[in-house]
Amino acid sequence: MKIVVDTNVVISGIFFGGNPRKIVEAVAAGSVDAYATTEIIDEYTGIIDSMIERKQGRINQSILSPLFSAMKIIETGTNIDVCRDPDDNKFIECAVDAKALYIVSGDNDLLDIKEYDGIRIITAKEFCDEYLK
Protein backbone atom coordinates (compact mmCIF):
# COMPACT_ATOMS: atom_id res chain seq x y z
CA MET A 1 0.00 0.00 0.00
CA LYS A 2 1.38 3.40 -1.03
CA ILE A 3 1.02 6.36 1.30
CA VAL A 4 2.44 9.84 1.83
CA VAL A 5 3.00 10.81 5.44
CA ASP A 6 2.64 14.45 6.44
CA THR A 7 5.38 16.00 8.55
CA ASN A 8 3.26 16.25 11.71
CA VAL A 9 2.69 12.48 11.70
CA VAL A 10 6.39 11.73 11.20
CA ILE A 11 7.39 14.15 13.97
CA SER A 12 4.76 12.78 16.38
CA GLY A 13 5.82 9.22 15.59
CA ILE A 14 9.51 9.89 16.14
CA PHE A 15 9.16 12.00 19.28
CA PHE A 16 5.93 11.05 21.00
CA GLY A 17 4.33 7.71 20.04
CA GLY A 18 0.70 6.67 19.67
CA ASN A 19 -0.82 6.03 16.26
CA PRO A 20 1.83 8.11 14.47
CA ARG A 21 4.50 5.83 15.99
CA LYS A 22 2.65 2.76 14.66
CA ILE A 23 2.71 4.27 11.17
CA VAL A 24 6.38 5.24 11.36
CA GLU A 25 7.23 1.72 12.59
CA ALA A 26 5.17 0.13 9.78
CA VAL A 27 7.02 2.24 7.20
CA ALA A 28 10.42 1.44 8.77
CA ALA A 29 9.54 -2.27 8.78
CA GLY A 30 8.48 -2.19 5.12
CA SER A 31 4.86 -3.12 5.88
CA VAL A 32 3.67 0.11 4.26
CA ASP A 33 5.29 1.90 1.32
CA ALA A 34 5.74 5.59 2.11
CA TYR A 35 6.71 8.06 -0.59
CA ALA A 36 8.31 11.47 -0.24
CA THR A 37 10.16 14.06 -2.28
CA THR A 38 13.46 15.64 -1.34
CA GLU A 39 11.48 18.76 -0.38
CA ILE A 40 9.35 16.70 2.03
CA ILE A 41 12.41 14.97 3.52
CA ASP A 42 14.05 18.39 3.96
CA GLU A 43 10.95 19.56 5.86
CA TYR A 44 11.02 16.46 8.08
CA THR A 45 14.71 16.89 8.93
CA GLY A 46 14.44 20.65 9.46
CA ILE A 47 11.71 20.23 12.04
CA ILE A 48 13.46 17.28 13.70
CA ASP A 49 16.66 19.35 14.00
CA SER A 50 14.70 22.29 15.39
CA MET A 51 12.96 20.13 17.99
CA ILE A 52 16.25 18.57 19.07
CA GLU A 53 17.79 22.04 19.48
CA ARG A 54 14.84 23.18 21.60
CA LYS A 55 14.84 19.87 23.51
CA GLN A 56 11.17 19.24 22.77
CA GLY A 57 10.38 15.58 23.27
CA ARG A 58 12.75 12.63 23.16
CA ILE A 59 13.79 11.42 19.75
CA ASN A 60 13.50 7.73 19.05
CA GLN A 61 16.86 7.29 17.28
CA SER A 62 16.25 3.58 16.67
CA ILE A 63 13.44 4.40 14.28
CA LEU A 64 14.74 7.53 12.54
CA SER A 65 17.37 5.95 10.29
CA PRO A 66 15.25 2.90 9.31
CA LEU A 67 12.33 5.22 8.54
CA PHE A 68 14.30 7.40 6.14
CA SER A 69 15.97 4.36 4.58
CA ALA A 70 12.59 2.76 3.92
CA MET A 71 10.99 5.85 2.35
CA LYS A 72 10.83 5.89 -1.42
CA ILE A 73 12.05 9.25 -2.73
CA ILE A 74 10.50 10.43 -5.97
CA GLU A 75 10.63 13.54 -8.11
CA THR A 76 7.29 15.13 -8.84
CA GLY A 77 6.21 16.71 -12.08
CA THR A 78 2.71 17.56 -10.93
CA ASN A 79 1.82 21.10 -9.85
CA ILE A 80 -1.26 21.36 -7.66
CA ASP A 81 -2.80 24.38 -5.97
CA VAL A 82 -5.71 23.17 -3.83
CA CYS A 83 -4.59 23.67 -0.20
CA ARG A 84 -5.35 26.69 1.97
CA ASP A 85 -1.70 26.45 2.98
CA PRO A 86 0.23 26.39 -0.32
CA ASP A 87 3.16 24.69 1.44
CA ASP A 88 0.98 21.58 1.89
CA ASN A 89 0.40 21.13 -1.85
CA LYS A 90 3.70 19.22 -2.01
CA PHE A 91 2.13 16.29 -0.14
CA ILE A 92 -0.71 16.04 -2.65
CA GLU A 93 1.71 16.39 -5.58
CA CYS A 94 3.83 13.58 -4.16
CA ALA A 95 0.78 11.36 -3.61
CA VAL A 96 -0.47 11.94 -7.16
CA ASP A 97 2.88 11.15 -8.76
CA ALA A 98 3.48 8.14 -6.47
CA LYS A 99 -0.04 6.88 -7.21
CA ALA A 100 -0.57 6.67 -3.46
CA LEU A 101 -3.88 5.65 -1.94
CA TYR A 102 -3.59 7.84 1.18
CA ILE A 103 -2.07 10.94 2.65
CA VAL A 104 -1.85 10.47 6.42
CA SER A 105 -1.96 13.82 8.20
CA GLY A 106 -2.93 15.72 11.30
CA ASP A 107 -3.09 19.03 9.42
CA ASN A 108 -6.60 20.44 8.95
CA ASP A 109 -5.49 22.24 5.80
CA LEU A 110 -5.05 18.80 4.24
CA LEU A 111 -7.71 16.88 6.17
CA ASP A 112 -10.45 19.33 5.14
CA ILE A 113 -9.82 18.37 1.50
CA LYS A 114 -10.74 14.75 2.41
CA GLU A 115 -9.92 13.38 -1.06
CA TYR A 116 -8.04 14.49 -4.13
CA ASP A 117 -7.98 12.56 -7.40
CA GLY A 118 -8.96 9.33 -5.62
CA ILE A 119 -6.39 9.81 -2.83
CA ARG A 120 -7.97 9.80 0.62
CA ILE A 121 -6.57 12.23 3.17
CA ILE A 122 -7.00 10.70 6.63
CA THR A 123 -5.73 10.96 10.19
CA ALA A 124 -3.17 8.64 11.76
CA LYS A 125 -5.94 7.14 13.90
CA GLU A 126 -8.14 6.45 10.87
CA PHE A 127 -5.22 4.81 9.05
CA CYS A 128 -4.33 2.67 12.05
CA ASP A 129 -7.94 1.67 12.67
CA GLU A 130 -8.36 0.58 9.04
CA TYR A 131 -4.95 -0.91 8.19
CA LEU A 132 -2.71 -1.44 11.21
CA LYS A 133 -5.07 -3.38 13.47
Residue 71: the pLDDT is 97
Q: Phi and psi of 38, rounded to 5°? A: -60, -35
pLDDT tens series, the chain, 133 aa: 999 999 999 999 988 889 999 999 999 999 999 999 999 999 999 998 888 877 766 676 667 889 999 999 999 999 999 999 999 999 999 999 999 999 999 999 999 999 999 999 999 999 999 998 7
Tally the C-alpha atoms within 13 A of residue 9's C-alpha that lie toward its C-beta. Answer: 32
